[in-house]
Homo-oligomer: A and B are copies of this chain.
């Protein structure tokens, strides 16, 4: 696929993407909440901070029904900027991509058939250094591993997306707790990345937790229990087992996915093959974050590939905002686009996005 942008480890990424041709691909979108998203200024994924708790459910309801069910509102900001679930939905419909949703701790239970992890948990404010009970972290990891085991070899490759407002802040927390210099490197759904706010939250949380890096590296569940959220650990559990089973995994997300890789790495997973980060052009060209720097530090063997989505010429204002740094990624938009353009021209994807948006606003 020469259409794609092979940002990091070009040849390896190219080979991986090519190997997906003819594969049976399944997409799983992991959702959850962290109360971090309710801290003013952290997340732009909701009209008001409290409403970010509804976003994961609304996102995946939108995937299935083309409209949210848990909130009676169209999933666009007052400026008309739509949820990235719109891109994902457009792609899913285009190739009838099989998918499901995994609820790891959504504040609102989504009103769609979905996979539930029984230990689902809404992450607490990480400022206390106590985000989730340690046993919950372990349980979520194990349950998600079991999910991968139950799925077995039904799919050859899995696209794993996420929706968790506040997730880049908890990703920062996990990365820093595990000893990575992630300051100023995680991305944001806003064009003005609130690094100061995120740093303040994480530093307060680190103090509250009182954990050493070596303690966290030895037991990454501790890092998540202190500064994490339900989604990253659940994706890590799925990833670790899927790789063991020889299933290819496309981690469909931005800088957050490096937190998943960090957890998996310190649990001893072999990240040298079968896993790639698939994201959007908006993430890799973002000046206010650096996915490449993070991946080089955390998991230097994992390629990063981006979908060349460009909405400059979109016939709707709301969509053109994506070119100004709004949203950038989420609900697996980048990775889902990548597997879609294995089968359909990019132009079809763009037209499907336009058509989905037009249905949304009219």
Contact = CB atoms under 8 A, between A and B. Distances in A.
A150 B152 CA distance: 18
A356 to B, nearest CB: 17
Contacts of A24: 24, 154
Contacts of A155: 154
Interface of A: 24, 26, 64, 96-100, 102-103, 109-118, 143-144, 146-147, 150-155
B98 A150 contact: yes
Contact of A100 (B98, B110, B151): B151
Contact of A154 (B118, B146, B154): B154
A151 B98 contact: yes
A97 B103 CA distance: 23
Given A26-B154, A154-B26, A154-B154, A100 B115 contact: yes
Contacts of A100: 115, 150-151
A4 B117 CA distance: 37
B113 A113 contact: no
Chain A to chain B: the 6 pairs with minimum beta-carbon distance, closest first: A98-B154, A113-B147, A98-B152, A116-B116, A111-B118, A96-B152
Nearest to A154: B98
B112 A146 contact: yes
Contacts of A152: 96-98
Contact of A113 (B96, B110, B112, B116): B116
A102 B150 CA distance: 13
A96 B153 contact: yes
A304 B282 CA distance: 55
Contacts of A153: 96, 98
A97 B151 CA distance: 8
Given A96-B153, A111-B118, A113-B150, 17 more contacts: A24-B24, A24-B154, A97-B152, A100-B150, A100-B151, A102-B113, A109-B118, A110-B118, A113-B116, A113-B117, A113-B118, A113-B143, A113-B144, A113-B146, A114-B116, A116-B116, A154-B155
